[in-house]
Amino acid sequence: MLTVTHPAVAYQDLTGYLPLVSYLSWGLGLETSYTAGGALQCTLRMENAQTEGKWLYVVGALLDAETGQVISGTGFGLLWDAGLGYAYNSADYLIAFEVGAESYITVPCMLTLPQSNAYLSLVMCEMLGDEPAEDDTIRGEVTTLLVQPAALDLSAIMMPLVMVMMIGAMIPVISKQM
């Protein structure tokens, strides 16, 4: 693994791109329940189907759910923490992973994002030089809609529950008077 300074590529517009071949996958569906500021766990599978080893890295951003445009300030790279055993999102740095010929690696991730009700888009790039650059080859993309969980409306059950509690508290009082 090689740690490099995070390039501007993480902040470029990630929309309007259709991958020629997807070498990046994860276990998240088209929609994922997520509360802003919480931990989003996923495992990325970064695959290299070519006959020689490659250095691959992942950048991501949040996209507006209505317009599909990158939300300012949400671009990031993945940084590996060997002590914790997972990658996390970093606005300042990223890591490139060496993936052998006709092989794949899995990367457990713990992402903390500033908002929900937006698309999370990750793009995997092949590093062509010594460090990530804007002209690196895009090898795959995954996207999910981060949906804020619905608030639990307790009003429908609270009123009957309060009534039952009040009646339960009154029964000993009524039975003593009889």
Interatomic CA distance for residues 43 and 21, integer angstroms = 19
Interatomic CA distance for residues 56 and 136, integer angstroms = 10
The predicted structure's pLDDT at residue 120: 97
- Paired tokens of 110: 């713990």
The predicted structure's pLDDT at residue 150: 81
Interatomic CA distance for residues 25 and 42, integer angstroms = 10
Question: Residues 67-95: pLDDT tens digits?
Answer: 999 999 999 999 999 999 999 999 999 99
- What's the whole-model pTM score? 0.74
Q: Does 109 have pLDDT greater than 50?
A: yes
* Pairing outcome for strands 39-48 and 103-112: antiparallel
- Three-state SS string across 96-136, please? EEEECCCEEEEEEEEEECCCCCEEEEEEEEECCCCCCCCCC
Residue 66, SS3 per DSSP: coil
Q: Taking a C-beta distance cutoff of 8 angstroms, is the pair 38, 98 a contact?
A: no
The predicted structure's pLDDT at residue 8: 34
117: how many CB neighbours lie within 10 A of its CB? 14
Q: Does 139 have pLDDT greater than 70?
A: yes
The predicted structure's pLDDT at residue 74: 96
The predicted structure's pLDDT at residue 18: 42
Domain segments of the chain: what residues? 2-151
Residue that wins the pLDDT comparison between 177 and 61: 61
Mean pLDDT across the stretch 107-129?
96
Tokens 């509360």 — which residue?
Answer: 35
Tokens 């009646």 — which residue?
Answer: 167
Tokens 């691959």 — which residue?
Answer: 56
How far from each other are the two terminal CA atoms of the chain, in whole angstroms?
81
The predicted structure's pLDDT at residue 17: 46
Tokens 């914790």 — which residue?
Answer: 84
CATH homologous superfamily of 2-151: Immunoglobulins (2.60.40.10)
Q: Taking a C-beta distance cutoff of 8 angstroms, is the pair 12, 134 a contact?
A: yes
Q: Does 57 have pLDDT greater than 70?
A: yes
- Please calculate the CA angle 168-174-178 and round it to the nearest 5 degrees: 145
Question: Residues 141-165: pLDDT tens digits?
Answer: 999 999 998 876 556 666 666 666 6
The predicted structure's pLDDT at residue 108: 97
